[in-house]
Structure 1
Amino acid sequence: MPLAADALPPARPPRDLRLDIVRGWMQVSIFVSHIAGTAFAWGIHAAWGLSDSSEQFVLLSGFTLGSVFALKAARGGFGAARSDMARRTLRLYATHLTVFFMFAALVLWAEMCVPLPGGVERLGWSFLVERLWLALPAAFAMLYQPAFMGILPVFVWSMLLLPAFMWAAARAGGWALAPAVAAYVAVQLGLLETPSVGGTGIAFEPFAWAALFLGGALAGRRALLAGEGVQPRRWLVAGAAAVVAAGFWARLVGYGVLPGPEDPVAVAMHKEALAPARLLHALALAYLVAALVPREAAWMRLWPAQALAAIGRHSLRVFCVGLFLAWGASTALARWPEDAAWLDPLLVLGGAGALAAVAWASDGWRRWWPQRVGRGGVAE
Structure 2
Amino acid sequence: MKFEIRAAPPRNLQLDFFRGLALMIIFINHMPGNPWFAYTPSRLGPSDAAETFVFLSGFAAAIAYGRSFNQAGIGLGSVRVLFRCGQIYVAHLALFILMTSLFLWMNSQGIIGAHWQLDNLHYFFDQTQEAVLALVSLKYVPNFIDILPMYLVIMLWLPMAWVLSRIHVWLPLGFSLLLYLAAHRLGWELSADPTSSRSWYFNPFCWQLVFFTGFAFSSGWLPIPRFHQGLLWLCLLFVAFCYPLENPFGYQRLPWFAALRESWAGLLDKSHLGFIRYLHFLAMTYLVSHFMHRHPHWLQTGPAREIIAMGRQSLPIFMLGTCLSFAGGMLLDGTHPDLVESALINLAGLGLMLLCAQLLNWLDQKPWKTLGETPADNMANNWPAQSVLALGLLLLTAAPMLFLQSQQPPAAAMAEAEPDLVVSPENPTQITEEVVYQPNDEAIEMPDTL
CA contact (8 A) 1:50 1:278 kept: yes
Partner of 1:93: 89
Matching residue within 122, 126, 143 for 1:126: 122
AA aligned to 2:296 is: A
AA aligned to 1:57 is: F
Partner of 1:291: 290
Instruction: Tell me how far apart the structure 2 counterparts of residues 366 and 302 of structure 1 sit (CA, whole Å).
Output: 22
After superposing the two structures, state which structure 1 stretch, 167-176 or 361-370, moved more.
361-370
Displacement after TM superposition at 1:269 (Å)? 3.9
Matching residue within 163, 171, 174 for 2:170: 174
Matching residue within 139, 154, 157 for 2:150: 154
CA contact (8 A) 2:140 2:191 kept: no
Instruction: Tell me how far apart the structure 1 counterparts of residues 172 and 299 of structure 2 sit (CA, whole Å).
Output: 36
Distance 1:46-1:18 versus aligned 2 partners, 3 A rule: same
Deviations 1:205-257 (A, max 9, x none): 1111122212322222227xx9x544223343333222222221333664534
* Structure with greater proportional helix content: 1
CA contact (8 A) 1:194 1:207 kept: no
Helix, strand or coil: the match of 1:23?
helix
Partner of 1:322: 321
Instruction: Tell me how far apart the structure 2 counterparts of residues 221 and 288 of structure 1 sit (CA, whole Å).
Output: 21
Distance 1:353-1:109 versus aligned 2 partners, 3 A rule: closer
Partner of 2:303: 304
Partner of 1:38: 34
Partner of 1:241: 236
Helix, strand or coil: the match of 1:36?
coil
Distance 1:287-1:247 versus aligned 2 partners, 3 A rule: same
Are residue 195 (structure 1) and residue 194 (structure 2) matched? no
CA contact (8 A) 1:183 1:192 kept: no
CA contact (8 A) 2:116 2:330 kept: no
- Counting matched residue pairs gives 359
Partner of 2:59: 63
Unaligned runs of 5+ in 1: 1-9, 373-380
Partner of 1:270: 269
Instruction: Tell me how far apart the structure 2 counterparts of residues 62 and 164 of structure 1 sit (CA, whole Å).
Output: 15
Distance 1:115-1:350 versus aligned 2 partners, 3 A rule: closer
Displacement after TM superposition at 1:288 (Å)? 2.2
Instruction: Tell me how far apart the structure 2 counterparts of residues 120 and 333 of structure 1 sit (CA, whole Å).
Output: 11
CA contact (8 A) 1:252 1:258 kept: no
Displacement after TM superposition at 1:115 (Å)? 5.9
Are residue 16 (structure 1) and residue 9 (structure 2) matched? no
AA aligned to 2:216 is: L
Displacement after TM superposition at 1:43 (Å)? 1.7
Q: CA RMSD in A?
A: 2.6
Helix, strand or coil: the match of 1:145?
coil
Displacement after TM superposition at 1:172 (Å)? 2.2
Instruction: Tell me how far apart the structure 2 counterparts of residues 332 and 357 of structure 1 sit (CA, whole Å).
Output: 22
AA aligned to 2:53 is: F
CA contact (8 A) 1:254 1:264 kept: no
If asked which structure has higher relative contact order (CA below 8 Å, sep 6+), I would say: 1
Partner of 2:227: 232
Q: What TM-score, normalized by structure 2, do the two folds share? A: 0.73
Matching residue within 215, 219, 222 for 1:221: 219
Instruction: Tell me how far apart the structure 1 counterparts of residues 141 and 90 of structure 2 sit (CA, whole Å).
Output: 15
AA aligned to 1:42 is: A
After superposing the two structures, state which structure 1 stretch, 308-317 or 327-336, moved more.
327-336
Partner of 1:313: 312
Are residue 204 (structure 1) and residue 202 (structure 2) matched? yes
CA contact (8 A) 1:154 1:205 kept: yes
Distance 1:239-1:134 versus aligned 2 partners, 3 A rule: farther
Are residue 28 (structure 1) and residue 24 (structure 2) matched? yes
Deviations 1:10-58 (A, max 9, x none): 9965322122111111111100001122221122111121111111111
Displacement after TM superposition at 1:156 (Å)? 0.4
Instruction: Tell me how far apart the structure 1 counterparts of residues 206 and 335 of structure 2 sit (CA, whole Å).
Output: 40
Unaligned runs of 5+ in 2: 1-5, 371-450
Displacement after TM superposition at 1:123 (Å)? 2.8
Partner of 2:113: 117
Partner of 2:331: 332
CA contact (8 A) 2:30 2:325 kept: yes
Q: What TM-score, normalized by structure 1, do the two folds share? A: 0.85
Displacement after TM superposition at 1:91 (Å)? 0.9
After superposing the two structures, state which structure 1 stretch, 353-362 or 63-72, moved more.
63-72
Displacement after TM superposition at 1:120 (Å)? 5.9
CA contact (8 A) 1:50 1:265 kept: no
Instruction: Tell me how far apart the structure 2 counterparts of residues 341 and 65 of structure 1 sit (CA, whole Å).
Output: 37
